Structure 1
């Protein structure tokens, strides 16, 4: 096991889960989905002695990216996203930020391929493309520690909404069944909203993906 730890901040108008992953005893972190207030994220982590070394986006909706540019500016960390999410990251109408009253776009430093292995500060995860909530939605799987950051793809006994631009319920349920339910049952799932769950639990009790 890689002895990874995970912390959570709940931020923004949608109460979005923002996660930071770090190795036990180390100060470097990977930050996932800076939902809002990059200044607050940066200062809060700095107070705890942490340093952001990489920023991962699960998808481009406003409530997952509003703090990303400022966090990148303060930390110097690169931003990564799945290549199919370019349309949302760089369009304030498609990512719904304009409708939410604060138009916002972000251009990641790197757009990644499905299956890409990302190693930052000695921590490695794999990008799993899970379109459906958005066309370029993805999850990040830390295999050694059986941790999955699922964004708005999979929730505890629920799934992400599909009524926003590029969403598709049939695509989403297929992504979950074919890309996530093949992972070990004991994998802990950390969703973009709500409480953690496990793959095995969702296979049994998630009515959206039976």
Structure 2
């Protein structure tokens, strides 16, 4: 599986494009839909779905344009079912960037293991940064996409609506840190890291 990271928008949100055999998944398309489309065209990737780790504005800004362009569905945790269309809940009203909204998700994650095309992955509930935060584990590749839960030597903020620091720490220690040390962590912002390094060196934990 090929993993492409595009840092998008004014906050530099990581959008990941996962691809196999010219089919792809788009994770957290936060902004700049044209850049995502340009990459998909360049690599001749046909996207199958949009996966959202959570519904903050900087992770959903390009969702509608991509849904319309490719006639694909967006998946989200049901705990944030109303967030995409609500600038208060998704946080865009709290930043000087203008209101950012999207139509509601097409589907909500309702199982622990999901398959889309040739992609199979596990969905881990990792709330704390937001109430419906999830992480995606691809066991064959030994990677986890952690959204804004765990960063390289940092953790997600918890001062926005629905944030809870105790839940965030529990999500990291009791969920993500149960993954093998060798797993690579692809976070929602900043560079990639791995479970072993964060377990040993993350100053917030």
Whole-Å separation in 1 of the counterparts to 2:54 and 2:32: 17
Deviations 1:4-33 (A, max 9, x none): 22111111010111001112xx11011100
Alignment deviations for residues 23-69 of structure 1 (CA, whole Å, 9 cap, x no partner): 2xx11011100011223312321122111111100011110000011
Q: Which residue of 2 aligns with 1:130?
A: 126
Give deviations 1:146-199, integer Å, cap 9, x for gaps: 110011000001101100110011110001111100000000000011100001
| 1:73 corresponding residue in structure 2 | 68
Structure 1 residue runs without a partner (length 5+): none
Segment of structure 1 superposing worse, 156-165 or 77-86? 77-86
Asked whether 1:101 is paired with 2:117, we answer: no
Q: Deviations over 1:69-122 (max 9, x none)?
A: 111110111111111121423321111123331231331111113x52221221
Give yes or no for the alignment of 1:82 onto 2:77: yes
> Which of 10, 19, 23 matches 1:22?
19
The answer (yes or no) to whether the contact 2:82–2:104 under 8 Å persists in 1 is: no
Aligned CA RMSD, in angstroms, stands at 1.3
Matched residue, 2:199: 203
How is 1:108-127 mapped onto 2 (pairs within 5 angstroms)? 108-113=105-110, 115-127=111-123
Classify the secondary structure of the residue corresponding to 1:88: coil
- List alignment gaps of at least 5 residues for structure 2: none
Aligned equivalents of 2:112 and 2:84: distance in 1? 19
CA distance in 2, matches of 1:102, 1:37: 15
Which residue is 1:143 aligned to? 139
- Cα distance in 2 for partners of 1:75, 1:105 equals 16
Q: Distance in 2 between matches of 1:86 and 1:204?
A: 35
Instruction: Tell me the TM-score normalized by structure 2.
Output: 0.94
TM-score by length of 1: 0.92
Asked if the contact 1:35/1:62 (under 8 Å) is kept, the reply is yes
Contact residue 126 and residue 149 of structure 2 kept, 8 A: yes
In the alignment of these two chains, the number of paired residues is 203
For the Cα contact (< 8 Å) 1:65–1:106, is it kept in 2? no
